[in-house]
Amino acid sequence: MQAEIPLPVTFNPYKHHFHFLLDEIKDWNTPEQINGKLLPIGNNLTDFYLGELCVSTICKECKAYFEKQNIRNQSTFCTWLGKSAWKKINLSDGSDWLIKTGDQKERYIHLHPAKFSKHTIRVRATTLKTVLALVATSTAKSESAAENLLAVNKIRTEILGLSPVKSLYPANSGILRLWNLFEGGDKTEFHH
């Protein structure tokens, strides 16, 4: 992952980028491989970018923003950030991105989609993991809600080590909505 992200940027496309994941899951074949790829997603709520900018474009636009501000090293970046925990920048598609201090010295610009930004949805990490595992294992959606629930719970318990869900309707509809998105559904149902 990090090889595709240019210095000094930290960005986790596994956790934050729809099109990146859509490409990635085509090559996930075994439960072990799926589990390994899902580790960077974590277990919290995450902001998930659905827009058309690819990972490299997002990183390039972020770097260009800082170059235009004459921020070329960690010291000038920290001065720009000041006492704020984060600041927001806007990219060419109108999406907002949060900028925080990265954990690694050479990757001091930590970038992720802003909450409630254009082209961004908020999802539970466990929902995202469940859907990615479902798509990667080619568990086809059925017309039967009971069969879908069985497929979801098999993935959650056997591959992800998560607890089963009681229902996909309506409280856990996030799984079905995200599953529809990854299966080629309409993104408009996610827009505010």
8 Å CB contact between 111 and 58 = yes
Tell me the pLDDT tens digit for each residue of 85-138: 999 999 999 999 999 999 999 999 999 999 999 999 999 999 999 999 988 887
Mean of pLDDT over the chain: 88
Segment 168-187 mean pLDDT:
76
User: Cβ of 156: how many Cβ atoms within 10 Å?
Assistant: 20
Between the CA atoms of 89, 92, 94 and 98, what dihedral angle is there, to the nearest 10 degrees?
-20
99 versus 31: which is more confidently predicted? 99
Quick one: tokens of 36? 């390994």
Give which of 11, 104, 20 is closest to 62, Cα–Cα: 11
Cα separation, 73 vs 75, whole angstroms: 6
Is 91 strand, coil or helix?
A: coil
Q: What is the pLDDT of residues 34-74, one digit of tens each?
A: 888 898 898 899 999 999 999 999 999 999 999 999 999 99
Among residues 110, 69, 74, 114, the alpha carbon closest in space to that of 91 is found at 114
Would you place residue 27 in the very low, low, confident or very high pLDDT band (cuts 50, 70, 90)? confident
What is the band of 5 on the pLDDT scale with cuts at 50, 70, 90? Answer: very high
